[in-house]
Amino acid sequence: MKLITIVGARPQFIKAAAVSRAISQYNQKYPTHAIREIIVHTGQHYDPNMSDVFFAQMQIPQPNYHLGIGSFSHGAMTGRMLEKIEEVILKEKPDTVLVYGDTNSTLAGALAAVKLHIPVAHVEAGLRSFNMRMPEEVNRVLTDQISNWLFCPTETAVRNLKREGILESGQSLVSNVGDVMYDAALFYKKIAQPTKAIASLIKELDESFYLATVHRAENTDDPIKLSNTIDALETISKTTPVVLPLHPRTNKLLSSQHISYIRLIEPVGYFDMITLLSKCNGVFTDSGGLQKEAYFFHKPCITLRDQTEWVELVEQGCNVLVGADREKIIEAENNLINLKEITHNNYSNYLYGQGNSANKVIDQLIKNS
């Protein structure tokens, strides 16, 4: 079997790394039936730190193709990716195209494949925020509609696909394999070493701080929402420091905001991020992935959004949605001790599998190819 894996953003590389390790394990076990994986990096998220050192440190295979498509409008970006990915598919003639998550790279990869009659496998299928104003929601809904294998991270995701008629269509194989990001978290936390700067910061704060991220356009592009969020984090920081790795988009928009207490730092790599996660008291975020990772590290999460794809975390009481409401953010922080206890007690429910999701993905592809 020849697979083309499409990735474009750092979270996708981490997910793909888990599956690539499973492929390597399979090939060692069955060398005469080896899977050949071709990795295509669209370049959607350009990061100067995404270098040979990054790939070596994280044991991620080097991309076979780097398309170099950077930041454009959604339509222009997706169109350029579609054209370039199609060229790779025509050249490589894969048996399956594998896509991850909900980025423009995901949709472009799926579209390019299906138009050339190549089966599509979607890892992290079935997630829904039910907010079609989010580009990610559009990408994931359309990708699910044209995928042949839909690898869901949760039972909630399976139910979403059932409601949309995909489960009964007979044209797609839907399965709950768990979350490959959990596989990655278990693997990398054993080998992660922080940079000196992050290790020094954690020591300075005496391991008593919150970790925050603010980057979604729904928050950063609305001056009132951004101001409310930052003001709440400033208030909280007066008693417990909030460490905020600053996304470039957010940094530009904060020029008029007076910040005295929040500990603003440069964007961090994955090892630094999971180190901060492992040491923090709790998380404030509008990121989808970080909500899950907070749970993986037994940390309560306050989500700066009105909806989440990870509804089971809210249902279990490990995550609370507060939007960009200043008073709700501060109130949630006041209740964080209760949230932390609930998160700890519910961690053993295995909401996202048991760390073998990538192996299940490969088993399903082999079995049903």
Do 163 and 306 sit in the same domain of this protein? no
Give a yes or no: residue 17 inside a domain.
yes
For tokens 């975020």, what's the residue? Answer: 285
User: Which residues constitute the domain of residue 39?
Assistant: 2-179+353-368
Report d(CA 355, CA 152) in Å as an integer. Answer: 14
Give a yes or no: residue 189 inside a domain.
no
Do 318 and 360 sit in the same domain of this protein? no
pLDDT (tens place) for every residue of the chain, 369 residues total: 999 999 998 889 899 999 999 999 999 999 999 999 999 999 887 665 555 666 777 888 889 999 989 778 889 999 999 999 999 999 999 999 999 999 999 999 999 999 999 999 999 999 999 999 889 999 999 999 999 999 999 999 999 999 999 876 666 899 999 999 999 999 999 999 999 999 999 999 999 999 999 988 888 889 999 999 999 999 999 999 999 998 776 777 887 788 999 999 998 888 999 999 999 999 999 998 899 999 999 999 999 999 999 999 999 999 999 999 999 999 999 998 888 888 777 776 789 999 999 999 999 999 987
Beta pairing partners, 198: none
Could you confirm whether 41 is annotated as catalytic?
no
Instruction: Provide the whole-model pTM.
Output: 0.90
Do 137 and 271 sit in the same domain of this protein? no
Residues 6+ apart with CB under 8 A from 293: 181, 185, 273, 274, 277
Do 121 and 28 sit in the same domain of this protein? yes
How many domains does the chain contain in total? 2
Active-site annotation holder among 33, 41, 122, 215: 215
Give a yes or no: residue 313 inside a domain.
yes
Give a yes or no: residue 187 inside a domain.
no
pLDDT digits (tens, 9 = 90+) for 2-14: 999 999 988 898 9
Do 165 and 202 sit in the same domain of this protein? no
Could you tell me the two tokens for 337? 């001790």
CATH, residue 324: 3.40.50.2000
Report d(CA 149, CA 168) in Å as an integer. Answer: 13
Could you tell me the two tokens for 51? 């270098």
Determine how many CB atoms are found less than 10 A away from the CB of residue 55. 15
In degrees, rounded to 5, the angle at the alpha carbon of residue 282 between the alpha carbons of residues 324 and 279 is 145
pLDDT digits (tens, 9 = 90+) for 279-304: 999 999 999 889 999 999 999 999 99
| Nearest alpha carbon to residue 279 among 333, 203, 221, 336 | 203
Give a yes or no: residue 165 inside a domain.
yes
- Sheet bearing 2-7, strands edge to edge: 65-66, 36-41, 2-7, 96-100, 120-123, 149-152, 173-176
- Report which residue type is found at 151: F
Beta pairing partners, 37: 3
Do 362 and 291 sit in the same domain of this protein? no
Do 208 and 288 sit in the same domain of this protein? yes
User: For 290, phi and psi rounded to 5 degrees?
Assistant: -70, -25
Do 59 and 82 sit in the same domain of this protein? yes
Do 148 and 233 sit in the same domain of this protein? no
Do 276 and 220 sit in the same domain of this protein? yes
Report d(CA 226, CA 214) in Å as an integer. Answer: 9
| Nearest alpha carbon to residue 98 among 86, 88, 113, 87 | 113
Exposure letters 175-198 (e unless 16+ CB within 10 A, then b): bbbbbbbbbbbebbeeebebeeeb
- Please answer whether residues 37 and 63 qualify as being in contact, where contact means their C-beta atoms are separated by less than 8 angstroms: no
> 41 by DSSP, 3-state: which?
strand
Do 110 and 225 sit in the same domain of this protein? no
Report d(CA 14, CA 188) in Å as an integer. Answer: 10
> 214 by DSSP, 3-state: which?
coil
Do 27 and 156 sit in the same domain of this protein? yes
